[in-house]
Amino acid sequence: MLRIEDLNKKYPTGDEALKDVKLEVPKGQVMALIGPSGAGKSTLIRCVNRLVEPTKGKVFLGDLELTELSRWKLRQARRRMGMIFQEYALVERLTVMENVLSGRLGYVGFWRSWFRRFPGEDVREAYRLLDRVGLMEMADKRADELSGGQRQRVGICRALIQNPDLLLVDEPTASLDPKTSRQIMRLINELCDERSLAAIINIHDVLLAQMFSKRIVGLEQGSIVYDGPPEDLTPEVLTRIYGEENWEATIGKVEEENEEEDSTISKAAS
């Protein structure tokens, strides 16, 4: 689904954020990208949808080479890539519904988006998604009235209403409490399963990464230093990614713990 070849990014300040990154994510795979702050995780996923322009290298979405697209073609390609952000990045003063529907902007003309006249199918899909994540009642609330977990679920709906082939997820749980973090990660995983979506999830919580994905890629100073299953994340590997530290307590059991209260969202939603 996604193929990255020798991707390089050098910022004007001289920082080399990415060095010859090679990565392939097949259809339906949820991949966790871990690494210390400043390792280039955000830069990597932003180079995919070109919110950040890569300096060198190629990125393919299916057969489409994203890195050579013109502005106009890039806009069309971005519709196939949903993005979920660290601080939710909802438009705070718009309603939940408007935020979700903004995921369709790539398909809707300027005047229709001005007057909020979205096609009926889009509106129905928006309600379906809000229902799926358990926010049906919140549709007409303003985004800044919601709690962190609720906002992130709106962010997820906005990405999914694009009907994407690929999800780019940037630290989805960084501003959430541990319980909400798990709920959000579980929700993203379930949704990816339902739609057989490929996803790259940037996450700095190693335990969460291990719990929720079958493949983990470790990035350190712009280079991939680990690529494998979560079981193989040994203290040596973590030291290679993050540096020297006592890692014994960080490495969790890989089977997901089944807490009662955690499954509330899935139940409410189904």
Partner 1 sequence: MPKIDRSSGLSWRKHTTKKELTIWLYWLIGLSIVTYAWNLISEKTIWFFVQDAGTQAIDIGSRMVPPKLSYMDKLWQPVWDTINIATIGTIIALIIAVPVAFAAAKNTTPHPLIRTIALFIIVSSRSVNSLIWALILVFICGPGIFAGTIAIGLRSIGFCAKLLYEAIEEIDHNQVEAIQATGASRAQQMLYGIVPQVLPTFAGVGVYRWDINIRESTILGLVGAGGIGLQLNGSINTLAWTQVSMILLVILGTVIISEWISAKVRHAII
Residues that bind partner 1 (CB under 8 A): 49, 51, 75-79, 81-83, 85, 87, 89-94, 98, 102-107, 110, 113-114, 155, 158, 162, 168
- Residue 21 sits at φ, ψ, to 5 deg, of -80, 125
Paired with 216 in beta bridges are 32, 228
**CB of residue 103 to partner 1, shortest distance in Å:** 5
Give CA–CA dist 176/249, Å, rounded.
21
| Angle of the 148-160 helix axis to the 120-132 helix axis, nearest 10 | 140
Nearer to partner 1, 71 or 267 (CB): 71
Nearer to partner 1, 42 or 210 (CB): 42
CB of 210 to partner 1, least distance (A): 28
- Minimal CA–CA distance to 6: which of 23, 24, 22, 18? 22
Residue 263 CB, nearest approach to partner 1 (Å): 29
Could you give the CA distance from residue 70 to residue 67 in angstroms, rounded to a whole number? 9
Instruction: Name the residue nearer to partner 1 (CB basis): 6 or 145.
Output: 145
Please give the Cα distance from 252 to 47 (Å, whole number): 31
Nearer residue to partner 1 within complex by CB, 77 or 206: 77
Count of CB atoms within 10 A of residue 40's CB? 27
Residue closer to partner 1 by CB (options 102, 181) is: 102
